[in-house]
Amino acid sequence: MAVVESAPAVAGPIDWLRGPRFDLSLIVGVLALALVLGAAGCASPALFAAVIAVDFWLLAYPHALSTFTRIAFDREGARAHAFLLFGLPPLVFAATAGAVALGGVLALNTIYFFWQSWHYTRQSYGIARAYHRSAGIDPAGDRLSDVVVFAWPLWGLLHRAHQQPAEFYGGPIWLPSVPKSLVVVAGALALAALGLWTMRHLRALAAGRPRSTGHALFVLSHVVITAVSYLVVREITLGWLFINIWHNAQYLLFVWAMNARRFRGGIDPRRPFLSRLCQPEQALRYALVCLALSSGFYFALGQATGRMSWEVLPFVLVCHQTVNFHHYIVDAVIWRSRARRA
């Protein structure tokens, strides 16, 4: 997610997006889920396979589908975003296939690893800014928070590059050779930024002028999951599992909250299905619709590609990564454009 629109106004503390119950689920609950499931996946290969299945079918696939609730669940939205829905996928497929033709699975894995890292970081950046808006703080004036949000993933990526893993998610990967000294410098900068940021919050709290509680908790959750995924867990794929679960679950909740805000006035006669689905009391039905539609799509994709011989396995990967990359682009475009209009 690139930049998100302003958060809904709710009763109670103004620094929550929707209220303590929802926000603590979004921040603390999602972090706990990622840590518990990630730790289970690290315990054994069998548990890793089970956690991956849960992550993909219950979180990753619905999270990708939820993007399209913003643009494709009503006629007006589909018309306004016709290129993103119909023109962009063939272009992304062609580019992905071209990358595989030139560099094989190594190119695909490398692009995915770096792009998903950027995608996850931009989501954190966007949600952190949403918390600032909710607290009445100009997000553009808090560069220190932005430095914290970006410095920790940068440290993590440089650390992974210094490790020089040969494989990622069962396939080859290329990471540039990075000297230990550069990793140490990046780490020192990330820790210094976090230290300054923490001191600023503590001073504000001591002076009786606390800054946004929601924002502080969210940034800390971002730091924790980044540290665990890139720095604490030594194996690159196991580390990726933690942050992938975190990202998927977080995005599902956040998009639901923004959809609920969009239709907070009740049923929209121009968008009856979507607006009814996005009422607060329909949260479970909304989740089930996302789950059903995404499961149907990915099951059909799996059936279609599963009928092909193993010699064209890269084609299977191209199809799945095309969906991922298309989601990354659509996600960046729609949230950035909505933020400009907010």
pLDDT of residue 8: 43
Give the model's confidence band at 12: pLDDT under 50 very low, under 70 low, under 90 confident, else very high: very low
Structure confidence by residue, pLDDT tens digits, 199-220: 998 988 888 776 678 899 999 9
pLDDT of residue 11: 37
Give the model's confidence band at 72: pLDDT under 50 very low, under 70 low, under 90 confident, else very high: confident
pLDDT of residue 335: 80
pLDDT of residue 187: 98
The CA–CA distances, whole Å, from 17 to 8, 13, 174 equal 6, 9, 39
**HSE toward the beta carbon, residue 106, CA cutoff 13 A:** 8
Q: Are 322 and 93 in contact (CB under 8 A)?
A: yes
Residue 341 pLDDT more than 80? no
pLDDT of residue 278: 87
User: Which residues have CB under 8 Å from 20's CB, separation 6+?
Assistant: 12, 13
Residue 10 pLDDT more than 70? no
pLDDT of residue 327: 93
Region 27-46: mean pLDDT is 96
Region 96-104: mean pLDDT is 92
The chain-wide mean pLDDT, for the chain, equals 88
Residue 103 pLDDT more than 70? yes
Residue 13 pLDDT more than 70? no
User: Which residues have CB under 8 Å from 306's CB, separation 6+?
Assistant: 316
Q: Are 121 and 157 in contact (CB under 8 A)?
A: no
The residue among 124, 132, 129 whose CA lies nearest residue 27 is 124
pLDDT of residue 313: 62
Structure confidence by residue, pLDDT tens digits, 265-286: 888 888 888 888 889 888 889 9
